[in-house]
Structure formats: structure tokens, C-alpha cells
């Protein structure tokens, strides 16, 4: 959960592409490397995906996320973080994995989650974000 420095009540999310959950809105993140701390993983993933350094990386929440149709089962560890440089701008460093980054309030994310009816044209939340 990377807080938007221009509005700390908002967090950054982007549309996934090229993998399971393609077309769904997800937070920046990824998988732990061997012997990596949760804090280091969160910092590394945000740098790799958004091109920004973060600070105050802390545990936020955990969800249990079976994805039956994709044959996957995640246990997702959500971390919170702030921009190390509040004047920095995120950019999409992995355009093959994400369509771009925008900031959303919790209310906006909840509406996206509730409004999705399936089928063409609607944006849905990636499973772990939906369970948060």
C-alpha cells in the first residue's frame, strides 16, 4: 500500500497485464526472494515496478487468496509505505506487466469492487486486493 504523497488517503494501483489476473486492478508487489524480509521485498518491488524509493515500510495486513480458476493459492502480506521523496513521480517500469499507476481512495477501490459485474468492459480488483 504505497500512499500518494499528494493525498495520503489514496494508494497507488495499476491494471495487471500478461499474467494471471490480467485486466484487474492491483497494488504494486511481488514475491519474496530467499531470505528477504517483508520490508525489503516491499521496497524492492515498489522500486522495480514504480521507480520510486519508499520509507516507513510496515506490516499492514495479510489475506488468504485461493485463485481456483488460475490454479494458484496466495497468502498475501500487505505492507504500507510512503514515498521517500514526496516530490518523486511514479512511472511504469514494467509496461509488459502493468498498464500504469494511478492513485485511488479506499472509497474508489470499494466502488470498483462492488460495481464489477463480470464480462467485458468492467474493471475488477485483483483477488488479494478484493479480499483486503
CATH number of the domain within which 34 lies: 3.90.79.10
Opening angle at CA 31, ends 66 and 79, nearest 5: 85
**Closest alpha carbon to 51 in 11, 92, 87:** 92
Domain of 92 in residue numbering reads as: 3-131
Q: pLDDT tens digits, residue range 35-62? A: 999 999 999 999 999 999 999 999 999 9
pTM above 0.85, yes or no: yes
Contact present, 66 and 73 (Cβ < 8 Å): yes
**Closest alpha carbon to 41 in 52, 50, 33, 49:** 33
| DSSP run (H or E) holding 49 | helix 38-50
Q: pLDDT tens digits, residue range 61-77? A: 999 999 898 899 999 99
Based on the structure, what is the number of domains in the chain? 1
Amino acid at each position: 500500500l504505497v500512499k500518494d504523497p499528494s493525498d495520503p488517503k489514496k494508494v497507488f494501483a495499476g491494471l495487471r497485464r500478461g499474467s494471471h489476473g490480467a485486466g484487474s486492478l492491483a497494488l504494486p508487489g511481488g514475491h519474496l526472494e530467499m531470505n528477504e524480509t517483508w520490508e525489503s521485498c516491499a521496497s524492492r518491488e515498489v522500486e522495480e515496478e514504480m521507480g520510486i524509493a519508499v520509507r516507513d515500510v510496515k506490516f499492514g495486513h495479510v489475506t488468504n487468496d485461493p485463485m481456483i480458476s488460475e490454479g494458484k493459492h496466495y497468502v498475501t502480506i500487505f505492507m504500507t509505505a510512503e514515498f521517500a521523496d514526496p516530490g518523486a513521480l511514479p512511472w511504469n517500469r514494467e509496461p509488459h506487466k502493468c498498464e500504469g499507476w494511478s492513485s485511488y481512495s479506499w472509497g474508489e477501490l470499494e466502488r470498483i469492487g462492488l460495481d464489477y459485474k463480470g464480462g467485458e468492459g468492467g474493471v475488477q480488483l485483483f483477488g488479494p486486493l478484493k479480499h483486503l
